[in-house]
Amino acid sequence: MTPFLIVIGLLILVLSAVPVAAVLGILSFVLDNLNMGGVLTPALAEIYWDKSKEFILVAVPMFILLGEIMLRAGIAGRMYAAVIQWLSWLPGGLMHANIGSCTIFAASSGSSVATAATVGTVAYPEIEARGYNERLFLGSLAAGGTLGILVPPSINLIIYGLLTDTSVPELYLAGIIPGIILSSLFMLTIVVACIYRPSWGGQKVKTTWGDRIRCLPDLLPPIVLFTAVVGSIYGGVATPTEAASIGVCMALVIAALFKSLNIKMLKEAFEGTMRTTAMIMLIVFAAIFLNFVLGMMGITQAMLNFIRDLGLTPVQTVLLIIVFYLFLGMFMETLSMMLTTVPIVFPIVMALGVPEFSDVWFGILITLLMEAALITPPIGVNLYVVHGIRMRGGHFNDVAIGAIPFLIAMLVMILMLVAYPNLATWLPTLVYH
C-alpha cells in the first residue's frame, strides 16, 4: 500500500466525522493486518508503556491546568482590560488588545484553543458595543489564539520534542523571536485594514496615562507566571515538567490573592483539565502506534527515496513540504497531523544536509504550519472555537473570511523562516552553543 493511499484513507475517515483518535487507531490496525499479518498488534501494550513513561508528558496536563486556573480565577479578564489601556490607541483599537492579550496569555498557558476561547469570551461583547467590523474582529481572535502553540511554553513543542528527541528548552527559546514577529505582523495587518477602511476600527477607547499606570498590576500575574515557568527552565532550576508544576503553584497563589480560589473554581479547572488531557493523550497514543506501524512497513524510507528521486534542491524540498502541510491542514486537526506526519517528514528534512535546517528550526516551522491549519477552513479548530463563543449567532463563514488576512500574514512569517532560519536558531545557539 503506497503512502498516497494511506493519506487518502486517512482523509476519508476524517471527513466521515470519525473521532481523530479512532481514525488513527482504525488505520493502524488495518495497515498492520493488511501488510504485516497483524504481528505488530500484540506489541501495542509494550509500545504504549515505553512511551507513557516519558517524564516530559507530565508537563502537558500541568500546562492545561495552568490555563484553566488563569481563566477561572479571572486573571485573563483583568489582563485584557489592562492591555486595552495600552494598545487601543492604534488603528483597529481593541483588535490590537486581542493580539496582545493572546500573546501574553499564550506565554503562560501553552494551548491555542484555550487562548482563543479565553480571550474571545472576554472580548466578544465589545464588537457590538463599539461598532467593530465583526469579521475582522473575530479573525483577530482566531489568529491571536494560534500563538498559544508557538510562544513558550507550548504543549505542541513538548510533543514535537518527544517525537524527534529535540531539546524542549531549545525549542522554547526558538519560538520567542518568531512569536514576537508574528504578533507584530498580525497587528500590522489590523493597522493596514483599518487605514484602508477606518469604519472597521470601531469607536476609540478613551484612556489616560493615569489609567494606564493604574492597570499595570493586572498585567503582572501573566508576566510573573511566564517568568516563573520559563525562567526556572533557563536558570537551571527546573526541567520543563517541573517548571509547569511551578507555574500551577504560582497560579494558585495568584488566584488566592485575587480571592477567587475556592472549591467550585478548582473543581471546574480540574474537570476541564481532565477532559482536555484525555482527548490529547488518546490522540497521542493512537498516533504513536500508527507511526510504529508505518515505520515497520518502510513508509519512511519510501518517502525518503521518493523525495530524493525528485532531484529537488533543499529549499525546493522544504517548500514542497510546506505546500503539503498547508493542504493537509485543511482536513486534519493539528495535533493529529503533527503526530502522524512528523516521524515521516522529519528524517527527510534532516537528510537534506543543510546545517541551518536543524531539528530546532524545523520544530518552529512545523509549529507555524500547525498555526496556519488552526485558521484554515474547513477544519480550522480556532475558527470553530471563536464561532462557538458568538452570543448572537451568525454564519461560520464570517470567522473564516475574517481570518484570511491573518493567514496571509502567517504565510509571510513561514517564508521568512525559510529564508532566514536564524530567526529561530539564533537564541538557542546563543544560550546553548
Q: What is the rounded CA–CA span in Å between residue 431 and residue 228?
A: 18
- Contact residues for 313 (Cβ-Cβ < 8 A; gap 6+): none
Expressed as residue numbers, the domain containing 368 is 3-432
Q: What's the confidence (pLDDT) of residue 303?
A: 66
Cβ neighbours of 193 (radius 10 Å): 22
Grid cell listed for 344:
515521516
Averaged pLDDT of the chain: 82
Q: What is the rounded CA–CA span in Å between residue 112 and residue 293?
A: 30
Q: What is the rounded CA–CA span in Å between residue 356 and residue 107?
A: 26
Q: What's the confidence (pLDDT) of residue 147?
A: 85
Which strand (E) or helix (H) includes residue 223? Answer: helix 220-234
What pLDDT digit, counting tens, does each position of 196-210 carry?
888 888 787 788 888
Cβ neighbours of 223 (radius 10 Å): 14
> By the 8 A CB rule, do 398 and 135 touch?
yes
Arithmetic mean of pLDDT, 422-433: 88
Cis peptide before 153 (omega within 30 of 0): yes
Half-sphere exposure of 129 (CA within 13 A, CB side): 9
What pLDDT digit, counting tens, does each position of 341-392 carry?
888 889 888 988 888 899 999 999 999 998 898 888 766 778 877 887 776 6
Arithmetic mean of pLDDT, 41-46: 69
- Contact residues for 94 (Cβ-Cβ < 8 A; gap 6+): 84, 88, 123, 126, 130, 132, 137, 202, 205
Q: What's the structural domain count of the chain?
A: 1
If DSSP codes are grouped into helix, strand and coil, which group holds residue 201?
A: strand
Cβ neighbours of 212 (radius 10 Å): 13
Who wins on pLDDT, 15 or 29? 29
